[in-house]
Chain A
Amino acid sequence: MYRRNGGNLLSSGDFGEVRIEDVSKVYEGGSGSQRVLDGCSFCIERGRLTVVMGPSGCGKTVLINLIAGYERPSTGRILIDGEPVTGPGSDRLVVFQETTLFPWMTVYNNVTFGCRVQGLSKGEIKDRAEHLLRKVGLYEFRDKYPGQLSGGMQRRAELARAMINDPKIMILDEPFRGLDAMTRQLMQEFYVGLFEEIGRTNLFVTHEIDEAVFLADRVVVMTFQPGRVKAEVEVDLPRPREFHMLASQRFMEIRQQVIELLYEEAAKAFASGSKAAYDLVGAIVARNGACKK
Protein backbone atom coordinates (compact mmCIF):
# COMPACT_ATOMS: atom_id res chain seq x y z
CA MET A 1 0.00 0.00 0.00
CA TYR A 2 2.77 2.44 0.87
CA ARG A 3 5.33 3.32 -1.70
CA ARG A 4 9.10 3.28 -1.35
CA ASN A 5 9.91 3.29 2.36
CA GLY A 6 6.75 1.25 2.93
CA GLY A 7 4.72 1.34 6.12
CA ASN A 8 5.17 5.05 6.72
CA LEU A 9 2.40 7.50 7.43
CA LEU A 10 3.47 10.06 4.88
CA SER A 11 1.67 8.89 1.80
CA SER A 12 -0.48 6.22 0.25
CA GLY A 13 1.47 6.62 -2.98
CA ASP A 14 -1.52 7.74 -5.05
CA PHE A 15 -0.15 10.58 -7.17
CA GLY A 16 -1.55 12.56 -10.07
CA GLU A 17 -0.50 13.87 -13.42
CA VAL A 18 -1.36 17.35 -14.70
CA ARG A 19 -1.72 18.21 -18.37
CA ILE A 20 -1.86 21.86 -19.31
CA GLU A 21 -3.36 22.04 -22.79
CA ASP A 22 -3.13 25.24 -24.79
CA VAL A 23 -4.04 27.41 -21.81
CA SER A 24 -4.43 31.17 -22.19
CA LYS A 25 -5.44 33.69 -19.58
CA VAL A 26 -6.55 37.20 -20.43
CA TYR A 27 -7.42 39.82 -17.85
CA GLU A 28 -9.81 42.56 -18.88
CA GLY A 29 -8.80 45.77 -17.20
CA GLY A 30 -9.79 49.41 -17.43
CA SER A 31 -6.90 50.15 -19.80
CA GLY A 32 -7.59 47.27 -22.16
CA SER A 33 -6.94 43.58 -21.85
CA GLN A 34 -3.76 41.96 -20.66
CA ARG A 35 -2.76 38.57 -22.05
CA VAL A 36 -0.86 36.88 -19.25
CA LEU A 37 -0.67 33.33 -20.56
CA ASP A 38 -0.76 32.48 -24.23
CA GLY A 39 -1.14 28.94 -25.54
CA CYS A 40 0.71 27.35 -22.68
CA SER A 41 1.13 23.55 -22.91
CA PHE A 42 3.18 21.14 -20.87
CA CYS A 43 2.87 18.14 -18.64
CA ILE A 44 3.59 17.77 -14.94
CA GLU A 45 4.46 14.10 -14.92
CA ARG A 46 3.41 11.65 -12.27
CA GLY A 47 5.84 11.26 -9.40
CA ARG A 48 8.33 13.75 -10.80
CA LEU A 49 9.48 17.18 -9.72
CA THR A 50 8.78 19.75 -12.40
CA VAL A 51 10.20 23.23 -11.94
CA VAL A 52 8.70 26.21 -13.78
CA MET A 53 11.07 29.13 -14.30
CA GLY A 54 10.75 32.50 -15.86
CA PRO A 55 11.21 36.19 -15.19
CA SER A 56 8.65 38.01 -13.07
CA GLY A 57 5.67 38.80 -15.21
CA CYS A 58 5.68 35.52 -17.10
CA GLY A 59 2.47 34.43 -15.41
CA LYS A 60 3.88 31.80 -13.10
CA THR A 61 1.58 32.67 -10.25
CA VAL A 62 -1.43 32.84 -12.56
CA LEU A 63 -0.54 29.41 -13.87
CA ILE A 64 -0.55 28.10 -10.31
CA ASN A 65 -3.90 29.69 -9.57
CA LEU A 66 -5.30 27.99 -12.65
CA ILE A 67 -3.96 24.56 -11.71
CA ALA A 68 -5.13 25.00 -8.15
CA GLY A 69 -8.56 25.94 -9.46
CA TYR A 70 -8.74 29.39 -7.87
CA GLU A 71 -9.12 30.92 -11.33
CA ARG A 72 -10.33 29.61 -14.68
CA PRO A 73 -8.36 29.71 -17.93
CA SER A 74 -9.73 31.99 -20.65
CA THR A 75 -9.17 29.26 -23.23
CA GLY A 76 -7.64 25.81 -23.12
CA ARG A 77 -7.93 23.35 -20.29
CA ILE A 78 -6.10 21.76 -17.43
CA LEU A 79 -6.52 18.04 -16.83
CA ILE A 80 -5.66 16.11 -13.71
CA ASP A 81 -5.50 12.41 -14.51
CA GLY A 82 -7.71 13.18 -17.46
CA GLU A 83 -10.31 15.11 -15.43
CA PRO A 84 -10.66 18.83 -16.14
CA VAL A 85 -10.07 21.20 -13.21
CA THR A 86 -13.28 22.98 -12.22
CA GLY A 87 -12.34 24.45 -8.85
CA PRO A 88 -10.10 24.03 -5.81
CA GLY A 89 -9.79 20.53 -4.45
CA SER A 90 -7.91 18.73 -1.75
CA ASP A 91 -6.12 16.58 -4.35
CA ARG A 92 -3.90 19.60 -5.09
CA LEU A 93 -2.12 21.55 -2.42
CA VAL A 94 -0.50 24.89 -2.84
CA VAL A 95 2.32 26.30 -0.73
CA PHE A 96 2.30 30.00 -1.44
CA GLN A 97 5.03 32.62 -1.70
CA GLU A 98 3.96 34.37 1.45
CA THR A 99 3.14 32.34 4.51
CA THR A 100 -0.47 31.21 4.66
CA LEU A 101 -0.28 29.60 8.05
CA PHE A 102 -3.31 30.66 10.06
CA PRO A 103 -1.88 33.08 12.63
CA TRP A 104 -4.55 32.23 15.22
CA MET A 105 -3.81 28.50 15.26
CA THR A 106 -0.92 26.72 16.93
CA VAL A 107 1.50 24.81 14.73
CA TYR A 108 -0.32 21.60 15.64
CA ASN A 109 -3.72 23.01 14.73
CA ASN A 110 -2.36 24.46 11.50
CA VAL A 111 -0.84 21.14 10.49
CA THR A 112 -3.97 19.19 11.35
CA PHE A 113 -6.35 21.71 9.76
CA GLY A 114 -6.90 19.64 6.62
CA CYS A 115 -7.66 16.49 8.61
CA ARG A 116 -9.96 18.26 10.99
CA VAL A 117 -12.15 19.86 8.34
CA GLN A 118 -12.38 16.48 6.65
CA GLY A 119 -13.63 14.98 9.87
CA LEU A 120 -10.94 12.37 10.58
CA SER A 121 -10.89 10.79 14.01
CA LYS A 122 -8.81 12.52 16.68
CA GLY A 123 -6.57 9.51 17.22
CA GLU A 124 -5.75 9.12 13.56
CA ILE A 125 -5.05 12.85 13.25
CA LYS A 126 -2.73 12.75 16.24
CA ASP A 127 -0.67 9.84 14.90
CA ARG A 128 -0.21 11.39 11.50
CA ALA A 129 0.44 14.89 12.82
CA GLU A 130 3.03 13.82 15.36
CA HIS A 131 4.82 11.73 12.78
CA LEU A 132 4.89 14.65 10.34
CA LEU A 133 5.89 17.20 12.97
CA ARG A 134 8.84 15.01 13.97
CA LYS A 135 9.69 14.62 10.30
CA VAL A 136 9.89 18.39 9.78
CA GLY A 137 11.55 18.93 13.15
CA LEU A 138 8.75 20.95 14.70
CA TYR A 139 7.49 18.48 17.29
CA GLU A 140 8.85 20.58 20.17
CA PHE A 141 7.21 23.66 18.66
CA ARG A 142 3.75 22.21 18.11
CA ASP A 143 2.09 24.50 20.66
CA LYS A 144 3.68 27.69 19.33
CA TYR A 145 1.89 30.13 17.07
CA PRO A 146 3.27 30.87 13.57
CA GLY A 147 4.27 34.38 14.60
CA GLN A 148 6.61 32.85 17.16
CA LEU A 149 8.51 30.76 14.59
CA SER A 150 11.45 31.66 12.35
CA GLY A 151 10.97 31.91 8.59
CA GLY A 152 12.44 28.48 7.95
CA MET A 153 10.26 26.87 10.60
CA GLN A 154 7.17 28.50 9.11
CA ARG A 155 8.00 27.01 5.73
CA ARG A 156 8.45 23.58 7.26
CA ALA A 157 5.15 23.87 9.11
CA GLU A 158 3.55 24.75 5.82
CA LEU A 159 5.08 21.73 4.09
CA ALA A 160 3.78 19.54 6.90
CA ARG A 161 0.30 21.05 6.65
CA ALA A 162 0.28 20.40 2.91
CA MET A 163 1.61 16.86 3.21
CA ILE A 164 -0.78 15.67 5.91
CA ASN A 165 -3.59 15.57 3.38
CA ASP A 166 -1.50 13.31 1.17
CA PRO A 167 -2.38 15.30 -1.95
CA LYS A 168 -1.93 13.81 -5.41
CA ILE A 169 -0.06 16.91 -6.47
CA MET A 170 1.88 19.48 -4.52
CA ILE A 171 2.32 22.95 -5.96
CA LEU A 172 4.91 25.29 -4.49
CA ASP A 173 5.08 28.94 -5.54
CA GLU A 174 8.54 30.27 -4.71
CA PRO A 175 8.22 28.77 -1.25
CA PHE A 176 11.73 29.64 -0.08
CA ARG A 177 11.68 33.24 -1.20
CA GLY A 178 12.70 35.66 1.49
CA LEU A 179 14.67 33.13 3.51
CA ASP A 180 18.31 33.88 4.17
CA ALA A 181 20.82 32.02 1.98
CA MET A 182 21.78 29.41 4.56
CA THR A 183 18.22 28.60 5.62
CA ARG A 184 17.23 28.47 2.00
CA GLN A 185 19.91 25.92 1.22
CA LEU A 186 18.90 23.79 4.19
CA MET A 187 15.26 24.00 3.15
CA GLN A 188 16.11 22.93 -0.40
CA GLU A 189 17.99 19.94 0.93
CA PHE A 190 15.17 19.09 3.29
CA TYR A 191 12.54 19.49 0.63
CA VAL A 192 14.36 17.45 -1.99
CA GLY A 193 14.88 14.73 0.62
CA LEU A 194 11.15 14.62 1.33
CA PHE A 195 10.38 14.49 -2.36
CA GLU A 196 12.82 11.64 -2.90
CA GLU A 197 11.38 9.70 0.01
CA ILE A 198 7.74 10.09 -0.98
CA GLY A 199 7.93 10.54 -4.74
CA ARG A 200 4.85 12.75 -5.01
CA THR A 201 4.06 14.73 -8.14
CA ASN A 202 5.49 18.21 -7.47
CA LEU A 203 5.29 21.49 -9.31
CA PHE A 204 7.82 23.98 -8.03
CA VAL A 205 7.97 27.56 -9.23
CA THR A 206 11.07 29.67 -8.72
CA HIS A 207 13.27 32.20 -10.42
CA GLU A 208 16.46 30.99 -8.75
CA ILE A 209 18.47 29.08 -11.33
CA ASP A 210 20.54 27.01 -8.91
CA GLU A 211 17.48 26.09 -6.93
CA ALA A 212 15.66 25.03 -10.10
CA VAL A 213 18.41 22.80 -11.41
CA PHE A 214 19.24 21.34 -8.02
CA LEU A 215 15.67 20.27 -7.33
CA ALA A 216 14.19 19.44 -10.70
CA ASP A 217 13.65 16.37 -12.80
CA ARG A 218 12.63 18.76 -15.52
CA VAL A 219 12.81 22.54 -15.86
CA VAL A 220 10.12 24.33 -17.85
CA VAL A 221 11.32 27.78 -18.98
CA MET A 222 8.57 30.33 -19.66
CA THR A 223 8.66 33.37 -21.90
CA PHE A 224 8.08 36.92 -20.71
CA GLN A 225 4.64 38.48 -21.36
CA PRO A 226 2.65 36.72 -22.52
CA GLY A 227 3.81 33.56 -20.82
CA ARG A 228 4.21 30.44 -22.89
CA VAL A 229 6.60 27.53 -22.74
CA LYS A 230 9.93 28.47 -24.25
CA ALA A 231 11.76 25.22 -23.62
CA GLU A 232 11.86 22.18 -21.39
CA VAL A 233 15.15 20.94 -19.99
CA GLU A 234 15.60 17.43 -18.57
CA VAL A 235 17.81 17.39 -15.50
CA ASP A 236 19.54 14.02 -15.44
CA LEU A 237 21.51 14.51 -12.25
CA PRO A 238 21.31 11.38 -10.10
CA ARG A 239 19.10 11.18 -7.04
CA PRO A 240 19.39 11.52 -4.12
CA ARG A 241 20.55 15.03 -4.81
CA GLU A 242 23.30 16.31 -2.59
CA PHE A 243 24.84 19.68 -2.29
CA HIS A 244 28.24 18.74 -3.65
CA MET A 245 26.49 18.27 -7.01
CA LEU A 246 26.26 22.02 -7.31
CA ALA A 247 29.94 21.91 -8.23
CA SER A 248 29.68 19.00 -10.69
CA GLN A 249 30.38 19.32 -14.38
CA ARG A 250 26.88 18.14 -15.37
CA PHE A 251 25.19 20.62 -13.06
CA MET A 252 27.20 23.45 -14.59
CA GLU A 253 26.26 22.37 -18.11
CA ILE A 254 22.55 22.21 -17.36
CA ARG A 255 22.68 25.46 -15.52
CA GLN A 256 24.40 27.12 -18.44
CA GLN A 257 21.72 25.81 -20.77
CA VAL A 258 18.96 27.20 -18.53
CA ILE A 259 20.75 30.52 -18.18
CA GLU A 260 20.95 30.93 -21.94
CA LEU A 261 17.26 30.18 -22.32
CA LEU A 262 16.36 32.58 -19.56
CA TYR A 263 18.69 35.35 -20.58
CA GLU A 264 16.66 36.43 -23.59
CA GLU A 265 13.41 36.50 -21.62
CA ALA A 266 14.93 38.30 -18.68
CA ALA A 267 16.41 40.87 -21.05
CA LYS A 268 12.94 41.49 -22.51
CA ALA A 269 11.54 41.93 -19.04
CA PHE A 270 14.46 44.16 -18.20
CA ALA A 271 13.73 46.35 -21.20
CA SER A 272 10.13 46.66 -20.04
CA GLY A 273 11.39 47.94 -16.72
CA SER A 274 10.37 45.25 -14.29
CA LYS A 275 12.29 45.58 -11.04
CA ALA A 276 12.35 41.83 -10.40
CA ALA A 277 13.61 41.25 -13.92
CA TYR A 278 16.36 43.76 -13.26
CA ASP A 279 17.49 41.68 -10.31
CA LEU A 280 17.33 38.52 -12.39
CA VAL A 281 19.42 39.95 -15.21
CA GLY A 282 21.91 41.16 -12.66
CA ALA A 283 22.16 37.69 -11.15
CA ILE A 284 22.45 36.03 -14.56
CA VAL A 285 25.15 38.38 -15.74
CA ALA A 286 27.09 37.84 -12.55
CA ARG A 287 26.88 34.05 -12.85
CA ASN A 288 27.47 34.00 -16.56
CA GLY A 289 30.69 35.87 -16.08
CA ALA A 290 31.68 33.65 -13.20
CA CYS A 291 31.19 30.29 -14.90
CA LYS A 292 32.40 31.21 -18.39
CA LYS A 293 35.71 32.37 -16.90
Chain B
Amino acid sequence: MEMIWRSGIKRKVSKIFSARLLRGLFSIVMFVVLWQVVVAIKVPYLANLPYPRDVAAGAVDATGSSTYWFGWGISLSRIFVGFMAAQLIGIPLGLAMGISRTFKDFTFPVFEMLRPVPPIAWIPLAILFWPTRELSIYFLVFIGAFFIIVINVIQGVSNISVSLKWAASSLGAGQRDIFWRILVPGSLPSIITGMTVGMGVTWNVLIAAEMIAGQGGLGRMTWEAYTNNNIPLIVVGMVSIGVAGYLCSMLVRWLGEKAMPWKRRF
Protein backbone atom coordinates (compact mmCIF):
# COMPACT_ATOMS: atom_id res chain seq x y z
CA MET B 1 0.00 0.00 0.00
CA GLU B 2 2.68 2.41 1.08
CA MET B 3 4.77 1.42 -1.92
CA ILE B 4 1.98 2.39 -4.27
CA TRP B 5 1.49 5.63 -2.40
CA ARG B 6 5.18 6.38 -2.61
CA SER B 7 5.49 5.59 -6.29
CA GLY B 8 2.44 7.80 -6.80
CA ILE B 9 4.21 10.66 -5.07
CA LYS B 10 7.32 9.98 -7.09
CA ARG B 11 5.35 10.10 -10.30
CA LYS B 12 3.76 13.36 -9.24
CA VAL B 13 7.12 14.86 -8.31
CA SER B 14 8.67 13.80 -11.60
CA LYS B 15 5.62 15.19 -13.40
CA ILE B 16 6.00 18.58 -11.71
CA PHE B 17 9.73 18.70 -12.45
CA SER B 18 9.34 17.62 -16.05
CA ALA B 19 11.92 18.67 -18.62
CA ARG B 20 9.52 21.24 -20.07
CA LEU B 21 8.96 22.90 -16.74
CA LEU B 22 12.68 23.01 -15.99
CA ARG B 23 13.33 24.63 -19.37
CA GLY B 24 10.60 27.16 -18.62
CA LEU B 25 12.09 27.95 -15.22
CA PHE B 26 15.50 28.25 -16.80
CA SER B 27 14.26 30.86 -19.28
CA ILE B 28 12.74 32.94 -16.48
CA VAL B 29 15.91 32.73 -14.40
CA MET B 30 17.98 33.72 -17.43
CA PHE B 31 15.69 36.70 -18.02
CA VAL B 32 16.22 37.95 -14.45
CA VAL B 33 19.98 37.38 -14.73
CA LEU B 34 20.10 39.29 -18.01
CA TRP B 35 18.09 42.11 -16.44
CA GLN B 36 20.52 42.25 -13.52
CA VAL B 37 23.49 42.36 -15.92
CA VAL B 38 21.94 45.05 -18.11
CA VAL B 39 21.43 47.34 -15.12
CA ALA B 40 24.81 46.51 -13.54
CA ILE B 41 26.90 47.30 -16.62
CA LYS B 42 24.76 50.38 -17.37
CA VAL B 43 23.67 49.64 -20.92
CA PRO B 44 22.88 52.99 -22.58
CA TYR B 45 19.22 54.05 -22.26
CA LEU B 46 18.48 51.16 -19.91
CA ALA B 47 20.57 52.40 -17.02
CA ASN B 48 17.51 53.87 -15.26
CA LEU B 49 15.97 50.45 -14.84
CA PRO B 50 15.72 49.33 -11.22
CA TYR B 51 17.47 46.17 -10.13
CA PRO B 52 15.29 43.07 -9.91
CA ARG B 53 15.67 43.09 -6.15
CA ASP B 54 14.36 46.69 -5.98
CA VAL B 55 11.29 45.64 -7.92
CA ALA B 56 10.87 42.65 -5.63
CA ALA B 57 11.09 44.94 -2.63
CA GLY B 58 8.59 47.30 -4.28
CA ALA B 59 6.27 44.37 -4.88
CA VAL B 60 6.47 43.32 -1.23
CA ASP B 61 5.71 46.91 -0.17
CA ALA B 62 2.83 47.27 -2.60
CA THR B 63 1.14 43.97 -1.87
CA GLY B 64 1.29 44.78 1.81
CA SER B 65 -0.70 48.00 1.35
CA SER B 66 -4.43 48.20 1.04
CA THR B 67 -4.32 50.92 -1.67
CA TYR B 68 -2.70 48.38 -4.01
CA TRP B 69 -5.49 45.87 -3.55
CA PHE B 70 -8.03 48.66 -3.74
CA GLY B 71 -6.56 49.43 -7.18
CA TRP B 72 -7.15 45.83 -8.22
CA GLY B 73 -10.72 46.07 -7.01
CA ILE B 74 -11.41 49.29 -8.90
CA SER B 75 -9.90 48.05 -12.17
CA LEU B 76 -11.66 44.70 -11.96
CA SER B 77 -15.02 46.29 -11.21
CA ARG B 78 -14.61 48.66 -14.20
CA ILE B 79 -13.80 45.73 -16.45
CA PHE B 80 -16.73 43.79 -15.07
CA VAL B 81 -19.30 46.56 -15.58
CA GLY B 82 -18.13 47.63 -19.05
CA PHE B 83 -17.59 44.10 -20.28
CA MET B 84 -20.92 42.81 -19.02
CA ALA B 85 -22.76 45.77 -20.55
CA ALA B 86 -21.07 45.01 -23.88
CA GLN B 87 -22.21 41.38 -23.71
CA LEU B 88 -25.74 42.20 -22.59
CA ILE B 89 -26.24 44.68 -25.42
CA GLY B 90 -23.90 43.18 -28.01
CA ILE B 91 -25.05 39.55 -27.98
CA PRO B 92 -28.76 40.26 -28.60
CA LEU B 93 -27.84 42.90 -31.18
CA GLY B 94 -25.51 40.48 -32.97
CA LEU B 95 -28.16 37.75 -32.92
CA ALA B 96 -30.74 40.14 -34.35
CA MET B 97 -28.35 41.25 -37.08
CA GLY B 98 -27.42 37.65 -37.82
CA ILE B 99 -31.03 36.51 -38.10
CA SER B 100 -32.80 39.38 -39.80
CA ARG B 101 -31.51 40.53 -43.15
CA THR B 102 -33.64 43.69 -42.96
CA PHE B 103 -32.44 44.64 -39.50
CA LYS B 104 -28.86 44.07 -40.60
CA ASP B 105 -29.32 46.26 -43.68
CA PHE B 106 -30.50 49.08 -41.44
CA THR B 107 -27.90 48.80 -38.71
CA PHE B 108 -24.77 47.27 -40.17
CA PRO B 109 -23.53 50.27 -42.22
CA VAL B 110 -23.38 52.53 -39.17
CA PHE B 111 -21.85 49.73 -37.17
CA GLU B 112 -19.18 49.17 -39.82
CA MET B 113 -18.47 52.90 -39.94
CA LEU B 114 -17.77 53.07 -36.20
CA ARG B 115 -16.06 49.71 -35.78
CA PRO B 116 -12.64 50.62 -37.24
CA VAL B 117 -12.28 53.54 -34.80
CA PRO B 118 -9.78 52.33 -32.18
CA PRO B 119 -11.47 52.31 -28.75
CA ILE B 120 -8.78 54.61 -27.34
CA ALA B 121 -9.78 57.27 -29.86
CA TRP B 122 -13.12 57.46 -28.05
CA ILE B 123 -11.46 58.75 -24.85
CA PRO B 124 -11.88 62.54 -25.40
CA LEU B 125 -15.48 62.23 -26.50
CA ALA B 126 -16.29 59.83 -23.67
CA ILE B 127 -14.85 62.21 -21.08
CA LEU B 128 -16.83 65.10 -22.55
CA PHE B 129 -20.13 63.30 -22.80
CA TRP B 130 -20.43 61.34 -19.61
CA PRO B 131 -21.14 63.26 -16.42
CA THR B 132 -18.58 61.40 -14.31
CA ARG B 133 -15.13 60.01 -15.04
CA GLU B 134 -16.26 56.64 -13.77
CA LEU B 135 -19.07 56.47 -16.31
CA SER B 136 -16.77 57.47 -19.14
CA ILE B 137 -14.37 54.65 -18.19
CA TYR B 138 -17.23 52.14 -18.10
CA PHE B 139 -18.22 53.41 -21.52
CA LEU B 140 -14.72 53.04 -22.94
CA VAL B 141 -14.40 49.50 -21.62
CA PHE B 142 -17.80 48.81 -23.14
CA ILE B 143 -16.65 50.11 -26.54
CA GLY B 144 -13.57 47.91 -26.33
CA ALA B 145 -15.65 44.75 -26.09
CA PHE B 146 -18.82 45.78 -27.88
CA PHE B 147 -17.81 45.81 -31.55
CA ILE B 148 -15.86 42.59 -31.22
CA ILE B 149 -18.70 40.67 -29.62
CA VAL B 150 -21.26 41.91 -32.15
CA ILE B 151 -19.14 41.01 -35.16
CA ASN B 152 -18.43 37.57 -33.70
CA VAL B 153 -22.08 36.83 -32.96
CA ILE B 154 -23.09 37.81 -36.51
CA GLN B 155 -20.38 35.50 -37.82
CA GLY B 156 -21.48 32.76 -35.47
CA VAL B 157 -25.10 32.90 -36.62
CA SER B 158 -24.18 32.92 -40.30
CA ASN B 159 -21.79 29.99 -39.79
CA ILE B 160 -24.59 27.71 -38.62
CA SER B 161 -25.21 25.31 -41.47
CA VAL B 162 -28.58 25.76 -43.14
CA SER B 163 -29.09 22.01 -43.04
CA LEU B 164 -29.17 22.14 -39.24
CA LYS B 165 -32.04 24.62 -39.46
CA TRP B 166 -33.75 22.48 -42.06
CA ALA B 167 -33.29 19.40 -39.92
CA ALA B 168 -34.78 21.21 -36.94
CA SER B 169 -37.78 22.49 -38.85
CA SER B 170 -38.48 19.12 -40.41
CA LEU B 171 -38.46 17.66 -36.89
CA GLY B 172 -41.26 20.08 -36.12
CA ALA B 173 -39.39 23.00 -34.57
CA GLY B 174 -40.97 26.43 -34.84
CA GLN B 175 -39.15 29.76 -35.13
CA ARG B 176 -38.84 30.03 -31.37
CA ASP B 177 -37.31 26.57 -31.00
CA ILE B 178 -34.91 27.23 -33.84
CA PHE B 179 -33.80 30.44 -32.16
CA TRP B 180 -33.29 29.08 -28.66
CA ARG B 181 -32.20 25.53 -29.46
CA ILE B 182 -30.24 26.01 -32.68
CA LEU B 183 -29.13 29.59 -33.29
CA VAL B 184 -28.16 30.49 -29.74
CA PRO B 185 -26.15 27.37 -28.87
CA GLY B 186 -24.82 27.20 -32.43
CA SER B 187 -23.32 30.66 -32.19
CA LEU B 188 -21.96 30.04 -28.70
CA PRO B 189 -18.45 29.10 -29.88
CA SER B 190 -18.22 32.43 -31.71
CA ILE B 191 -19.63 34.26 -28.70
CA ILE B 192 -16.93 32.75 -26.51
CA THR B 193 -14.26 33.69 -29.08
CA GLY B 194 -15.62 37.23 -29.13
CA MET B 195 -15.56 37.38 -25.34
CA THR B 196 -11.97 36.11 -25.18
CA VAL B 197 -10.71 38.61 -27.74
CA GLY B 198 -12.86 41.37 -26.23
CA MET B 199 -11.44 40.73 -22.77
CA GLY B 200 -7.94 41.36 -24.09
CA VAL B 201 -8.99 44.62 -25.73
CA THR B 202 -10.88 45.89 -22.69
CA TRP B 203 -7.72 45.69 -20.58
CA ASN B 204 -5.85 47.76 -23.17
CA VAL B 205 -8.59 50.35 -23.17
CA LEU B 206 -9.03 50.37 -19.41
CA ILE B 207 -5.37 51.05 -18.72
CA ALA B 208 -5.22 53.88 -21.26
CA ALA B 209 -8.44 55.37 -19.89
CA GLU B 210 -7.26 55.12 -16.29
CA MET B 211 -3.94 56.76 -17.11
CA ILE B 212 -5.65 59.65 -18.84
CA ALA B 213 -8.90 60.07 -16.99
CA GLY B 214 -9.08 57.77 -14.05
CA GLN B 215 -8.97 58.00 -10.35
CA GLY B 216 -7.65 54.80 -8.81
CA GLY B 217 -7.14 51.51 -10.52
CA LEU B 218 -4.00 49.69 -11.59
CA GLY B 219 -3.44 51.91 -14.64
CA ARG B 220 -3.63 55.05 -12.54
CA MET B 221 -1.35 53.56 -9.91
CA THR B 222 1.27 52.85 -12.58
CA TRP B 223 0.94 56.35 -14.00
CA GLU B 224 1.26 57.94 -10.58
CA ALA B 225 4.35 55.85 -9.93
CA TYR B 226 5.76 57.46 -13.06
CA THR B 227 4.90 61.00 -11.94
CA ASN B 228 6.48 60.23 -8.54
CA ASN B 229 9.51 58.74 -10.29
CA ASN B 230 9.00 55.46 -8.44
CA ILE B 231 10.37 53.15 -11.09
CA PRO B 232 10.10 49.86 -9.13
CA LEU B 233 6.38 50.58 -8.61
CA ILE B 234 5.95 51.19 -12.36
CA VAL B 235 7.25 47.70 -13.01
CA VAL B 236 5.10 46.26 -10.24
CA GLY B 237 2.10 47.98 -11.82
CA MET B 238 2.92 46.60 -15.25
CA VAL B 239 3.25 43.07 -13.94
CA SER B 240 0.03 43.43 -11.94
CA ILE B 241 -1.87 44.57 -15.03
CA GLY B 242 -0.50 41.60 -16.94
CA VAL B 243 -1.54 39.18 -14.21
CA ALA B 244 -4.99 40.76 -13.93
CA GLY B 245 -5.59 40.55 -17.67
CA TYR B 246 -4.41 36.96 -17.70
CA LEU B 247 -6.72 36.00 -14.86
CA CYS B 248 -9.69 37.60 -16.64
CA SER B 249 -8.92 35.72 -19.86
CA MET B 250 -8.61 32.49 -17.89
CA LEU B 251 -12.02 33.14 -16.36
CA VAL B 252 -13.61 33.68 -19.77
CA ARG B 253 -11.98 30.54 -21.13
CA TRP B 254 -13.12 28.56 -18.12
CA LEU B 255 -16.67 29.83 -18.55
CA GLY B 256 -16.49 28.89 -22.22
CA GLU B 257 -15.49 25.35 -21.40
CA LYS B 258 -18.31 25.08 -18.87
CA ALA B 259 -20.82 26.44 -21.37
CA MET B 260 -19.75 24.14 -24.20
CA PRO B 261 -19.38 20.62 -22.80
CA TRP B 262 -19.72 19.22 -26.34
CA LYS B 263 -16.31 20.63 -27.24
CA ARG B 264 -14.62 18.10 -24.98
CA ARG B 265 -13.33 15.06 -26.79
CA PHE B 266 -14.42 12.45 -24.23
Spell out A's residues near B (CB within 8 Å).
68-70, 88-90, 92-94, 96, 98, 100, 102-105, 113-114, 117-118, 145-148, 161, 165
Is there contact, CB below 8 Å, between B163 and A98? Answer: yes
In the complex, what residues of A have CB within 8 A of residue B172's CB? Answer: 90, 114, 117-118, 165
Query: Is B177 engaged at the interface, CB distance under 8 Å to the other chain?
Result: yes
Given A96-B163, A102-B164, A147–B170 Cβ distance below 8 Å?
A: no
Closest to A173 in B: B163
Is there contact, CB below 8 Å, between B188 and A113? Answer: no
Query: Is B161 engaged at the interface, CB distance under 8 Å to the other chain?
Result: yes
Spell out B's residues near A (CB within 8 Å).
161, 163-164, 166-174, 177, 181-182, 185-186, 188, 260-266
Instruction: Name the residue among A94, A96, A103, A104 with the largest chain B CB count within 10 angstroms.
Output: A104
Q: Other CB < 8 Å A-B pairs besides A93-B170, A93-B171, 13 of them? A: A68-B166, A69-B170, A70-B166, A88-B170, A96-B163, A96-B166, A102-B168, A104-B185, A113-B181, A117-B168, A117-B173, A117-B177, A165-B172
Cα separation A90 to B167 with both chains bound (whole Å): 10
In the complex, what residues of A have CB within 8 A of residue B181's CB? Answer: 102, 113, 117
Is there contact, CB below 8 Å, between A104 and B262? Answer: yes
Q: Distance (Å) between the CB of B81 and the closest chain A CB? A: 30
Q: Distance (Å) between the CB of A100 and the closest chain B CB? A: 4
Is there contact, CB below 8 Å, between B186 and A100? Answer: no
Is there contact, CB below 8 Å, between B170 and A104? Answer: no
Is there contact, CB below 8 Å, between B170 and A92? Answer: yes
In the complex, what residues of B have CB within 8 A of residue A105's CB? Answer: 185, 262
Cα separation A68 to B177 with both chains bound (whole Å): 19
In the complex, what residues of A have CB within 8 A of residue B174's CB? Answer: 117
Q: Distance (Å) between the CB of B165 and the closest chain A CB? A: 9
Subset of 16 A-B contacts with CB under 8 Å: A70-B166, A88-B169, A92-B170, A96-B167, A98-B161, A100-B161, A102-B182, A102-B185, A104-B186, A104-B188, A105-B262, A113-B173, A117-B168, A117-B173, A117-B181, A147-B265
Given A102-B182, A117-B181, A94–B170 Cβ distance below 8 Å?
A: yes
Q: Distance (Å) between the CB of B186 and the closest chain A CB? A: 7
Is there contact, CB below 8 Å, between A68 and B186? Answer: no
Is there contact, CB below 8 Å, between A113 and B168? Answer: yes
Q: Distance (Å) between the CB of A154 and the closest chain B CB? A: 13
Q: Distance (Å) between the CB of B233 and the closest chain A CB? A: 47
Closest to B266 in A: A148
Is there contact, CB below 8 Å, between B265 and A148? Answer: yes
The one of A88, A94, A145, A146 in contact with B261, judged by C-beta atoms closer than 8 angstroms, is: A145
Given A104-B260, A145-B261, A148-B265, A117–B171 Cβ distance below 8 Å?
A: yes
In the complex, what residues of A have CB within 8 A of residue B173's CB? Answer: 113, 117
In the complex, what residues of B have CB within 8 A of residue A165's CB? Answer: 171-172
Is there contact, CB below 8 Å, between A100 and B169? Answer: no
Is there contact, CB below 8 Å, between B164 and A100? Answer: yes
Closest to A100 in B: B167
